[in-house]
Structure 1
Amino acid sequence: MPAPEKGQAFYMMNNPRRKFIKMGAMLGVGSAFMPLQFCSPAKKEENVALETPEETKSKLESFGIQLYSVKDEMAADAKATMTALAGFGYSQFEGFDGGKGVLWGMKPAEFKTLTTDLGVQMVASHANVFENLDTQAEEAKEAGLEYLICPWIGAQKTIDEYKMMAEKFNQVGETLKSHGLKFAYHNHDYTFEMLEGVLPQDVLMDNTDPALVDFEMDIYWVYVAGVNPAEYLAKYPERFKLCHLKDAEADQGNGEERGVLFGSGEIPFGEIVKDSKSLGMDYFIVEQERFVNSTPMEAAEKNAAYLQNIFMY
């Protein structure tokens, strides 16, 4: 939790008229030296394609929201908040434990009925996977969740500690698998900062069993740590199954968080989403934790509208 478009250049390089213009220029110069018998009236071109079809692009068919983005609203009235979010266009939810459990005090059957009625899939929840895991797993399974996700481990002091954490992840994954659920780890920036000459995230990736442990890439935290998200996804294909979509304003050098509304930051979402779709990414979850001249619910609505109406990859 806590690149310009090249359309104009592409058009000029691929527009059939470019060839005709170039040829015309050549003929215009050369025709003065051509014998008259080789000169004939120009034939009228019929049905010449003067336009090149635009590059085919796609939109996200579905996307979700991490409910932590509207944590205060969830605490006040979880059902009303979830209903409003579904109305904004979110078809998936990812939860967190806000003090009432990952189901906000609702019984699993009641929670599943709510999401079903809203037409929303409760994909996952961030949870403390190191305590009462079996009980949490039973409830999550009954409520219709697919994943329980570890959202935070804190910066470990040594690489050996990260290796031990990787083994804990394997154990958690084994337990959740026995309940018919999946396990994933959500990164922050600290696993993308070098330690002992090694990237801790690499240690977690290399020392966990792909059959037991998936990963959720928080694109924002990877980006602000100075690592290229698309390149890292390509380094470990099929390991990242979920991601947090977040945008970041330009670094002001003051160490503050840089989260902003989609479309007003500098993270190249189009490239990242396109690449990730071919590398095993299944779920795209919106998250925003910093709000400038906007409330959390207003931001949630605007971000959904951006993904529905403007964003293409």
Structure 2
Amino acid sequence: MTNRRSFLKTSALLTAGILAAPNLYAFDKKYVGLQLFTIREAMAKDPKAALAKVASLGYNAVEGATYTGTQLFYNMSGVEYAKTLKDNGLISPSSHYMLGESMDAKGTITNGWEKAVDDAAAIGTKYMVCAYLLDPERGNLDHYKATAEKFNKAAEVCKKAGIQFCYHNHDFEFEAQNGKYPFDVLLENTDKDLVKFELDLYWASRANQDPIKLFNRYPGRFPLWHVKDMDKSTAKNITEVGNGSIDFKRIFAQSKKAGLDYFFVEQDICPGDPFDSISQSISYLKKNLI
């Protein structure tokens, strides 16, 4: 039977645990985000209907995946896109962009970046993220160093507009060259205040990297995360959050060390209707993490 003495003892132990591990209680749970690449077909067909459905599932933040370089966001003007988001109770604190070094497109880091930054600032974007490096944009470690310098310069433009620049990883950044990961080269050769990182928990885990070790090595450098799970098959495929092998509770417990601001559910490939997958993911998140 629980008496006053045992209750006080238990309360004291719990309090001591909180004081010893404050990071366990540091995560701001206000927003649950979705990377819109997950529902790219629906966004291409009818973006307004797709965003309304996203909101109906409980998401209240989205991360953009398409920008044309001509002030259009999913074929909407900045004003119309911002209104659509607001009407659905959504914010869009972050959006993805390309380096553009090996492609003919505007609105990239190497082609029309200033305008892209202006357009992002006009709709209240807080983070502009380099989403991916195409094969020709990778190369050797010296090339990664040169890319890091491009990130520094792009980030300076962002800073003037009150926007934080980030880089989003996959798994190729963890393929060692001369005993060094390109991921570390990018982190070590970018200004820690100008350039932050959006850690994709799936791709890092697939590359046998422990997110906690990355947080400890580079504290405060990971304000954005992509949250998607890795199934338990030998193929290590992407699956719905909570349906695989990644220990999200352990990772989320270190959100303060990482510097987490926003996270976004993303599922590159879904077994069926993407809305079914993102519904399953947010259900797990709300029951277990937020």
Q: Same fold (TM over 0.5)?
A: yes
Correspondence for 1:118: 88
Q: Between Structure 1 and Structure 2, whose CA radius of gyration is higher?
A: 1
Contact kept? 1:154, 1:190, Cα under 8 Å: no
- CA separation in 1, counterparts of 2:30 and 2:10? 26
Note the aligned Cα RMSD (angstroms): 2.4
Corresponding letter in the other structure for 1:312: L
1:95 corresponds to? 64
- 1:150 pairs with 2:130: yes
| Contact 2:201–2:211 (8 Å) recurs in 1 | yes
Does residue 73 (structure 1) correspond to residue 30 (structure 2)? The answer is no
**Which amino acid counterpart does residue 254 of structure 2 have in structure 1?**
D
In 2, the alpha carbon distance for the partners of 1:234 and 1:115 equals 35
From 162, 176, 183, the equivalent of 1:180 is 162
Letter in 2 for 1:49: S
What is the aligned length?
265
Distance 1:209-1:46 versus aligned 2 partners, 3 A rule: closer
The aligned residue for residue 305 of structure 1 is 283
3-state SS of the aligned residue for 2:224?
Answer: strand
What TM-score, normalized by structure 2, do the two folds share? 0.84
* TM-score (norm. length: structure 1): 0.78
**Aligned partners of 2:4, 2:172: CA distance in 1, in Å?**
60
| CA deviation vs aligned residue, 1:246-297 (integer Å, no higher than 9, x gap) | 1001241xxx5611112110001001111123331111110012223x3101
Q: CA 1:219–1:101 in 2, change beyond 3 Å: closer, same or farther?
A: farther
The 5 A counterparts of 1:256-271 are: 256=235, 258-271=237-250
1:46 CA drift (Å)? 6.2
Q: 1:161 aligns with which of 135, 143, 147?
A: 143
Identify the residue that residue 267 of structure 2 maps to in structure 1.
288
User: What is the 5 A alignment of 1:204-283?
Assistant: 204-252=186-234, 256=235, 258-283=237-262
Which ranges in structure 2 are unaligned for 5 or more consecutive residues?
19-23, 99-108
1:190 to 163, 172, 187: 172
Please state how far the C-alpha of 1:110 moved relative to its aligned partner: 1.5
- Letter of the 1:298 partner, please give it: D
Identity %: 32
Provide the rounded CA distance (Å) in 2 between the counterparts of 1:46 and 1:122. Answer: 50
Unaligned runs of 5+ in 1: 1-16, 18-44
- Per-residue CA deviation, residues 24-83 of structure 1 (Å, 9 max, x unaligned), is xxxxxxxxxxxxxxxxxxxxx965638957888768332200000000000011011011
Instruction: Specify the code of the residue in structure 2 equivalent to 1:262.
Output: V
Q: Which moved more, 1:283-292 or 1:54-63?
A: 54-63
